[in-house]
């Protein structure tokens, strides 16, 4: 079984992770109110998911 002989330094770890920048979350328009929301999530503005009202949102 392969086991590292020495601990990897913080700088080496960070250099490796530097090649993988963070990407912003993908946003889609709500089919009911048109506001932006995360895909496959309940709309925080209107409370709809898949054209059905799931949660009553206080305004």
Residue pair 47/57 in contact (Cβ under 8 Å)? The answer is yes
Q: What one-character-per-residue DSSP string does 20-34 give?
A: S---PPP-EE-TTT-
Q: What is the pLDDT of residues 6-57, one digit of tens each?
A: 999 999 999 988 888 888 999 999 999 999 999 999 999 999 999 899 999 8
| 56 falls within a domain | yes
Q: Which residue has the higher pLDDT, 47 or 58?
A: 47
- The answer to the question of residue 53 being in a domain is yes
17 in a structural domain: no
Instruction: Collect all residues with Cβ–Cβ distance below 8 Å to 40 and sequence separation of at least 6.
Output: none
pTM attached to this predicted model: 0.60
pLDDT of 11:
95
Task: Look at the chain and report how many structural domains it folds into.
Answer: 1
* Domain assignment of residue 48, given as a range: 26-59
Asked whether the beta carbons of 56 and 47 are under 8 A apart, the reply is: yes
- Judge whether 33 lies within some domain: yes
């Amino acid at each position: 079984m392969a086991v590292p002989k020495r601990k990897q330094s913080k700088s080496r770890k960070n250099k490796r992770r530097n090649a993988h920048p963070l990407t912003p979350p993908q946003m889609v328009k709500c089919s009911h109110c048109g506001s932006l929301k995360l895909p496959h999530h309940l709309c925080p503005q209107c409370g709809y998911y898949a054209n059905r009202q799931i949660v009553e949102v206080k305004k």
